[in-house]
Amino acid sequence: AMAGKRESKKATRKGSKTNDDEKKEEEPPVDLEALESKQRSVLDVAMKLFEKRAMDRATRLVYSGSKGLKDGIEDFHKTWCNKMRNKHKITGFAGLINGTVFVHVIEAPGEVIVDLIRNLVEVEKLGLLRNIRIITINEEVPRYFLRWNVMKASADNDEPQDVETVQLAWTCVKNLLQLGIETKMKQPSEVLQQKYLPSTQKLVRLSQSPELCTPAEYLEIFHAPVDFTLNSEKVWPVSDLVKV
């Protein structure tokens, strides 16, 4: 009888352990709504990175022009830039090279670039610059300059070879970006100016090229209201738009 009781107790203990193991193996119910709220799509991640790196991206404008009959082109850019820097991050380099040709590479938000281009139309009318040409304009690009500088600069004389305007423009832009990388937070040294700034001969050729847009032409092409006339509007009587 005693042995039977012991065996029954062992059996009871084994049964209780089995029930406990089954309880441990049971998983809690999954809250699908909470799980979905924590999941992030690829678009969510991309948008987060886009917002995080907003200050590191900009629209980059590079243009050049010959010095006008009046002085003050450096002062104009300095005044304009100081006004814009109160609200926007602006980086780049502007320089009057050898006292004859002006070149400017600027990195700023898109609306700031458009405002500058509109001002350049007035600059040409005032006689501060002439033959202004937009060499390149790129949106959503990384910044190569850490600050904005304007100064009188010097560059070696270098006659442009017999190359296409696009190739010449790309070479000038590439060297200006390299200038930004090596300048960092300082003004470009004379050594860097001689090494990377395009010669006056190259910039004069670009400023006289009909292949590049003037500020007024750029605004007309990309920022003027769209207005066109349909062929049907030239016919009289006007045809019905909808025929039953």
pLDDT reported for residue 159? 79
- Given a cut of 70, whether residue 36 has pLDDT beyond it is no
The pLDDT tens digits for 77-119 are: 999 999 999 999 999 999 999 899 999 999 999 999 999 999 9
Three-class DSSP category at 130: strand
Give the whole-number percent of the chain exceeding pLDDT 90: 55
| Residue 32's pLDDT band (cuts 50, 70, 90) | low
The predicted-structure confidence for 121-150, as pLDDT tens digits, reads as follows: 999 999 999 999 999 999 999 999 999 999
Query: What values do phi and psi take at 221, rounded to 5?
Result: -75, -45
Q: How many CB atoms lie within 10 A of CB 80?
A: 16
Percent of the chain with pLDDT over 70: 76
Query: Is residue 72 scored above 70 in pLDDT?
Result: yes
Amino acid at 205: R
| Cβ atoms 88, 114 nearer than 8 A | no
pLDDT tens digits for 203-234?
A: 999 999 999 999 999 999 998 887 777 777 77
Q: Are 75 and 151 in contact (CB under 8 A)?
A: no
Look at residue 243 and tell me whether its pLDDT is greater than 70. no
**Contact between residue 76 and residue 128 where contact means Cβ atoms under 8 Å apart:** yes
pLDDT of the residue at 212: 96
How many Cα atoms within 13 Å fall on the side-chain side of residue 132? Answer: 26
Question: In the numeric block, which tokens belong to residue 97?
Answer: 């090279």
For the chain, what is the mean pLDDT? Answer: 83
